Structure formats: structure tokens, C-alpha cells
């Protein structure tokens, strides 16, 4: 190497976004998908929102409208802005309707086989310059990207729940993700008013690598009789100043999602410390998935939640 010549460290080079995003596609109108559509529309992007049935799309839009009304009540949104944002959201009945989208964000259930099928189905309908992102909270971005026809333009974009309120989005590059794709994704996420944290492509990334083992340990604490549901949550809220107890939080996330993430950690890292608690498995097998089924570690069918153990 000639004297004085320096090796260029690409990680220190500011890569400019390679493309402009004006229209966003979102696959899945559930809790996460509707939240992503909400923040994108509020930020001025046109949004095509897809789900298997129009009634699921309509339910998602109803949720968005309700959340925006709460923002109006808090003074963070005006009625005029709400109407404009809702007007930017349209129903993508078929995957072909994503043809003019600049980025498509998948927000389906945390099931790797399902996500592979979605990417295989949607790719033929996308324009060559369109980016793909997954809102997965735990699954390998490299593996998901390999199920698409554009691994270089694929990135993990993990929004936190509830999307309109939470400030963070984890960005995860797959092994093939190009610098320009990453830069475009980062600029896009920041335009939504979010802050990014960059994670390597390891099981569960950063947030859930730390959060879900804590929740799983709380379930073990319940399973072993160390404390009741009420005492465990009270201990962490008042003793560690957590806004929600771990079992209350598990119900909010969905016990099926918690179990899926723990299984990804356990299988991906081959470490017994990530073994899902048998009681968590039992609750999921019973269909007690938390708030969305009105029973989990708490029973939500009455006027106020009541512990189930």
C-alpha cells in the first residue's frame, strides 16, 4: 500500500438515500399494520393497506381513526390533519395494487413460513425499484430476504407497539442489504418522527432479545409459585418503575407472539436459558392469548382485568 494511503471504512461513510419514497404499501391491517399505516399517512405518505378481507381493512382504519381522535384530544393532531391522513389510506384489495408503491412493509403474524409465502407472492407485482421491509420482531432478515427477488433492497423495520406512541424503530440489515437501501430506510423512518436503533441480524434483535426473556422469567416465577400475577406485576411496577408489569405487558403483546419470539431465541441460539416456560405454552394452547382474546394472565371480560392465577 502506498505511504499515506488510508483504508476506507464504509461504516463511517454517509451514504445518501438512493430513492425517494412517496407511496407506502402495508401488508396486514392488524394491530401493527394499522399502526404503521397510521404514522405513514400522518407523515404525508400515500398508503395502500392490504388484508385478506375488506372488513379487516375497515376494522384497521376504524382503529386508526380512533387513535387519531385520541391524538386530537391530547392536542397533538388537528381534525383537519386527521381527515387528510385518513384520505391518504386506500384499500389494496389485491397484491397487484402495490405496483406503484416505493416501499412495501410486511406486518403479518410472526410466522416465518407465512412471511416467505407473502414475499414470494408480492414480488412479481412490485416495480423494480421498490424496497421490501419486514416488521418482524425476531426472525432472520437474511432468511426472509432470500424468499424475495430483491435481497439487496430488503430490510428489517421493526416498529414498536403501539406504533403511534412509541418512538423507536429497529433497523436490521440482512447480509445482502445494500448501503443505499439502509440509508433510504433510515431517512424514511426518521421522516415519520421516529428514532432508529440499528441491530445486527441475530434472533430477536435488541429490544426483544432483552424484553422477552424477562417476560418469560416472569412466567416462570408464576409457574414456580414464587408470586401471583398481581404480586409479580406490582413488584416490577413499583420496585423497578416499569410502566406495565411483565405479565400485563405479555397480555398486551399477545402470548402467542411472546411464545413465537421465545421459540426463535431458543432455536436460534441453542441456549437453554431461552426455553419457553411450559405455563406460557399452556396458555397459548388454551387460546388464552391476552387482550385480543380477552383472557390471558388477566381476564378482561368484566369491568376491570382480574388475574387468572
For residue 148, what pLDDT is reported? 97
Task: Say whether 242 is catalytic.
Answer: no
Give me the catalytic one of 38, 50, 158, 178: 158
- Chain centroid, CA 99 distance in Å: 23
For residue 19, what pLDDT is reported? 83
Question: Using CA atoms, how far apart are residues 174 and 202, in angstroms rounded to an integer?
Answer: 10
Task: Say whether 208 is catalytic.
Answer: yes
Give me the catalytic one of 106, 110, 170, 248: 170
Q: Name which of 51, 54, 52 is nearest 29 in CA terms.
A: 51
* pLDDT above 90 for 117: yes
pLDDT digits (tens, 9 = 90+) for 1-12: 444 444 444 444
Task: Say whether 158 is catalytic.
Answer: yes
E runs forming strands in the chain = 23-27, 46-50, 89-91, 103-106, 131-134, 154-159, 168-173, 195-199, 298-299, 306-307
Give me the catalytic one of 67, 137, 140, 199: 137
DSSP string computed for 246-307: HHHHHHHH-HHHHHHHHHHHHHHH--GGGPPPHHHHHHHHTT--BGGGTBSSEE-SSSS-EE
For residue 5, what pLDDT is reported? 43
CB 280 within 8 Å of CB 262: yes
Residue 1 or residue 47, greater confidence: 47
Kindly list the structural domains of the chain, giving each domain's residue range(s) and its CATH number in brackets, ordered by start.
23-199 (3.40.50.720), 208-307 (1.10.1040.10)
Strands 131-134 and 154-159 turn out to be: parallel
pTM of the model: 0.89
| pLDDT (mean) for 136-152 | 97
The residues pairing with 154 across neighbouring beta strands, listed in sequence order, are 132
Give me the catalytic one of 138, 148, 199, 208: 208
Residue 10 or residue 271, greater confidence: 271
Amino acid at each position: 500500500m502506498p505511504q499515506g494511503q488510508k483504508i476506507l471504512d464504509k461504516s463511517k461513510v454517509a451514504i445518501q438515500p438512493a430513492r425517494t419514497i412517496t407511496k407506502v404499501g402495508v401488508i396486514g391491517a392488524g394491530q401493527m399494520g394499522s399502526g404503521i399505516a397510521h404514522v405513514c399517512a400522518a407523515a404525508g405518505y400515500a398508503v395502500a393497506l392490504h388484508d385478506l378481507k375488506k372488513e379487516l381493512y375497515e376494522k384497521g382504519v376504524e382503529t386508526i381513526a380512533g387513535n387519531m381522535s385520541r391524538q386530537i384530544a391530547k392536542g397533538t393532531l388537528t381534525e383537519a390533519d386527521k381527515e387528510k391522513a385518513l384520505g391518504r389510506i386506500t384499500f389494496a384489495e389485491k397484491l397487484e395494487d402495490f405496483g406503484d408503491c416505493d416501499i412495501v412493509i410486511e406486518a403479518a403474524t410472526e410466522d416465518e413460513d407465512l412471511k416467505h409465502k407473502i414475499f414470494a407472492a408480492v414480488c412479481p407485482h412490485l416495480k423494480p425499484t421498490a424496497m421490501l421491509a419486514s416488521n418482524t420482531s425476531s426472525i432472520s432478515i437474511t432468511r426472509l430476504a432470500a424468499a424475495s427477488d430483491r435481497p439487496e433492497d430488503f430490510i428489517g423495520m421493526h416498529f414498536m407497539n403501539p406504533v403511534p406512541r412509541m418512538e423507536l424503530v429497529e433497523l436490521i440489515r440482512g447480509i445482502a442489504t445494500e448501503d443505499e437501501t439502509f440509508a433510504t430506510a433510515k431517512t424514511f423512518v426518521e421522516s415519520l418522527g421516529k428514532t432508529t436503533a440499528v441491530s445486527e441480524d441475530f434472533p430477536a434483535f435488541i429490544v426483544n432479545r432483552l424484553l422477552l426473556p424477562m417476560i418469560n422469567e416472569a412466567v416462570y416465577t408464576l409457574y414456580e409459585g414464587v408470586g401471583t400475577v398481581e404480586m409479580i406485576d406490582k413488584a416490577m411496577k413499583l420496585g423497578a418503575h416499569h410502566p406495565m408489569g411483565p405479565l400485563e405487558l405479555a397480555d398486551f403483546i399477545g402470548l402467542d407472539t411472546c411464545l413465537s419470539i421465545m421459540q426463535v431465541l431458543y432455536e436460534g441460539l441453542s441456549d437453554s436459558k431461552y426455553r419457553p416456560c411450559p405455563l406460557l405454552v399452556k396458555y397459548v394452547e388454551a387460546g388464552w392469548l391476552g387482550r385480543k382474546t380477552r383472557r390471558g394472565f388477566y381476564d378482561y371480560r368484566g369491568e376491570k382485568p382480574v388475574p387468572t392465577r
